[in-house]
Structure 1
Amino acid sequence: MNKRNQLIILTAAIALVAAGCSKAAAPVTTTSAAPVASPTPNVTKVPAKEGAAAFLKSVDGLKGQLNQQKVDDPKKFSATLEGEWASFEDEIKPKYPELYVKVEKFLTPLMAGLTQEKLDFTLLGQLNDGLKGALTELSTSLADNKGAVNATAIAGSQPLQEATKAYNKYVQDQGNQLVTLLDQLNAAVKSGDLKKAQEAYVAARMPYERIEPVIERFSELDGVMDARVDDFKDENDPEFTGYHRIEQLLFVKKSIKEAEPFAARLLDDGKKMQQSIAATNIEAADFVTGVGELMEEAQTKKITGEEERWSGATVPVIRANVEGAQAIYDLVKGELKQKDAALDDKISKSLTAVLDAMNTLSPAGATWNDFNKLEQSKQVDLKNKLEALAEPLVKMPGTLGQ
């Protein structure tokens, strides 16, 4: 993450800590178990209780250093926090989506702040306290085996079963759109029309981003299709393929000829992804918890502008994440309103605010405003609105499971 985009996260963090950070300090209970291999390079997956205990220990260690206003190798500490969270976060996402987003809310700016040349010890201390509070709450829930999304109740609800069937159809439709739009991208690249190819590139991103939690089930294909240049030696690495290789060629090199083999490869991989999607079935609990993953992607990762760094199409990509979350919400809002009308109203109003903000920043459709050229205050405002939407949305699975 470059310095400019770190500032988006850190500026938003100032408002976050000004509102107050959780400082709960409940005891942590842990268990030991053998670690298992992770598909993420250099990260070993561990059981959630074990991972949370290790993470809390690191957070406590950081607190001591921050109090002394001296952190040993802060960039390395940032990487350590990221790795420890990655070791068990996949277990937390579907079971505790609300707590997952709460951890991310403090962890992301904390990691960004630790990579700055000059550390803001006051801000970092407040973020670290907030992270400890979120982790303590999570650890207590894990120890007591309470607070997880009630997958059994969700699966037993007839209205939610019907909604799940409709969502499975939505996912299939997006998979079909993916192939159609990748075919159009391939044709546009072959045509030699650079502007047409650039527009087709952004359009082809949309279905992929709307169903990202489902896409990520197929990690090998996802890695080939959507990996960023950061995962490779440089932009010329032959292993660097997919969307973002094409993005670099179309928007930086403006070499449409060089993009041809990568567009053809992406279309072939897109067809494989569509077939994988067609063969999968999303269960009810996975369906309703998908909102958390989509909103976490939007507000902590996409908002930095790093993913669409060359095209500047950050707002359209975030819009696709939000549309994916909205599709889930729209299918369950009748049931949600019966169980918690106030929560439904808050989601509806927050969703409208986010959509209005995005439409103001960049028009929906074939053209877009370069996110990297927008005023930082507007970028931060969008992040804050996304966070304000994420907070009620991730309460939805727990409410539906009541």
Structure 2
Amino acid sequence: MNKHKQFIILLAAVALVATGCSKGSTAPSTATSAAPAASPTPNVSKVPAKEGAAAFLKTIDGVKGQLDQKQVSEPKKVSSSLVSEWASFEDEVKLKYPELYVKVEKFLTPLEAGLTQDKLDFALLGQLNDGLKGALAELSTSLIENKGAVNEAAIAGSQALQEAAKAYNKYVQEQGNQMVSLLEQLNAAVKSGDLKKAQEAYVAARMPYERIEPVIEKFKELDGVMDARVDDFKDEKDPEFTGFHRIENLLFVQKSTKDAEPFAARLLEDGKKMQQSIAATNIEAADFVTGVGELMEEAQTTKITGEEERWSGATVPVIRANVEGAQKIYDLVKEELKKKDAVLDEKISKSLSSVIEAMNSLSPVGATWNDFGKVEKAKQVDLKNKLEALAEPLVKMPGTLGQ
């Protein structure tokens, strides 16, 4: 794990404990979370969320016993097993209980990361484990009692949200078209041999893709090919490693436009397939209002570490595109949201403005960007906290709109 990620992870864990994580507690919006050391969600056998949550609670009790004894057997394997067990049912939780999903993640991600450290902080890990147990207990109760899930039927039955869905489908199609156009420019720039032009074209092509990330699960197979991280492969030279980030490595590390040519051509073809898939897919209101809060949580956990744009340093432009996509969703539903919870609406609006202002102070809008890894740590943390403050009300939006 690189030092930058360690900094974010340790900061996150300390912040959570400082706010008093205990059984049944959750972190307030000022607390920070952290990216796990593991790679993105692994391929695991799926189980129903009710069964998964009950089993996970037992696992966490077992981890607590080890932490209390200050003797964790193979802690890195324990961390990996936590990743896998959560992955077996997290997708269902993410869709039906987005707010509880984020509560679990607040404690789970720094716990997973903390278990991979060379020297374990048992007091810190114990408190994170207790906080996780409280969040899981709340989730398990909700699943058993079948209460608190997002009311998809109410969202689907709202005339205002049906109109919002029509507009959002059009927006996603526009972004898909723009993505293909920019991928064509990237392909041409790579073929030209102009490295700087190719690097700028790479970042530009990322933007429309990142704006539609709240619904990228609709195109999971293509997403897995186009946006995979090197963590999922043997190394950066693995022939199976393709897409944006293979090109990123070749342009920013290897500095080779020639080697990037076949990957740029492949990415363009996959982009055209996604464009076609977007045109053939109907995105429901519940899909995008549920996905937007979780995306902002991901932005302030994994993306803020520089994990996604580790070679280009274009973390701020990518997060800016995520925020632009989130703002589009908010703009489409805000009148309906305001009717149901004016306070929540105002909180989202203010948090959006705060995040945008912070991003613009860190990196220019346009074809150039400042390497996020070179931004002073205090400013990185400030952006992370502002993203968390935005994620917190956004995950409440689906439940509110479904009232």
TM tier, shorter chain? over 0.9
TM-score by length of 2: 0.93
Match of 2:244 in 1: 243
Structure 1 residue 379, shift from structure 2 partner: 1.8
Which residue is 1:84 aligned to? 85
Q: 1: distance between equivalents of 2:41 and 2:362?
A: 34
Partner of 2:311: 310
**Within 5 Å, which residues of 2 pair with 1:356-375?**
356-375=357-376
Which residue matches 1:21? 21
CA contact (8 A) 2:248 2:311 kept: yes
Alignment of 1:120-269 (within 5 A): 120-269=121-270
Question: What is the CA–CA distance in structure 1 between the aligned matches of 2:334 and 2:225, rounded to whole Å?
Answer: 35
Query: Is the Cα contact below 8 Å between 1:93 and 1:292 reproduced in 2?
Result: no
- Could you tell me how far 1:42 is from its partner in structure 2? 4.5
Displacement of 1:24 in angstroms is 2.4
Deviation at 1:176, TM superposition (A): 0.7
Q: CA deviation at 1:16?
A: 2.2
Q: 1:55 to 1:399 in 2, by over 3 A?
A: same
Q: Please give the residue correspondences for 1:330-369 in structure 2 after superposition, counting only pairs within 5 Å.
A: 330-369=331-370
Percent identity of equivalent pairs:
84
Secondary structure of 1:365's aligned partner: coil
List 4+ stretches of structure 1 deviating above 3 A: 39-42
**1: CA distance between counterparts of 2:298 and 2:209?**
13
**What is the aligned length?**
389
| 3-state SS of paired residue (2:302) | helix
How far the C-alpha of 1:206 sits from its partner, in A, is: 0.9
1:78 CA drift (Å): 0.6
State TM-score, norm by structure 1. 0.94
1:286-314 alpha-carbon deviations (Å, 9 max, x no partner): 12112123213212221121111100111
Please name the residue that 2:116 is paired with: 115
Per the alignment, residue 7 of structure 1 pairs with 7
- CA separation in 1, counterparts of 2:263 and 2:43? 28
Unaligned runs of 5+ residues in structure 1 are 26-38
Name 2:28's counterpart in structure 1: none
Query: Per-residue displacement from partner, 1:168-207 (whole Å, max 9, x unpaired)?
Result: 1111111111101101111111121111110110111111
| Offset of residue 72 of structure 1 | 1.2
| C-alpha contact (below 8 Å) 1:48/1:88 kept by paired residues | yes
Match of 1:288 in 2: 289
Q: d(CA) in 2 for partners of 1:207 and 1:137?
A: 37
Distance 2:13 2:397 in 1: 25
Distance of 2:260 and 2:357 partners within structure 1: 35
Q: Does the 8 A contact of 2:214 with 2:288 survive in 1?
A: no
Unaligned 5+ segments in structure 2 are: 26-39
Q: For 1:21-60, list aligned pairs within 5 A.
A: 21-24=21-24, 42-60=43-61
Q: Distance in 2 between the 1:359 and 1:130 partners?
A: 34
Asked whether the 8 Å contact 1:175–1:277 carries over to 2, the reply is yes
Q: Deviations over 1:153-176 (max 9, x none)?
A: 111111111111111111111111
Maintained 8 Å contact 2:215/2:287: no
1:33 maps to none
Q: 1:40 to 1:387 in 2, by over 3 A?
A: closer
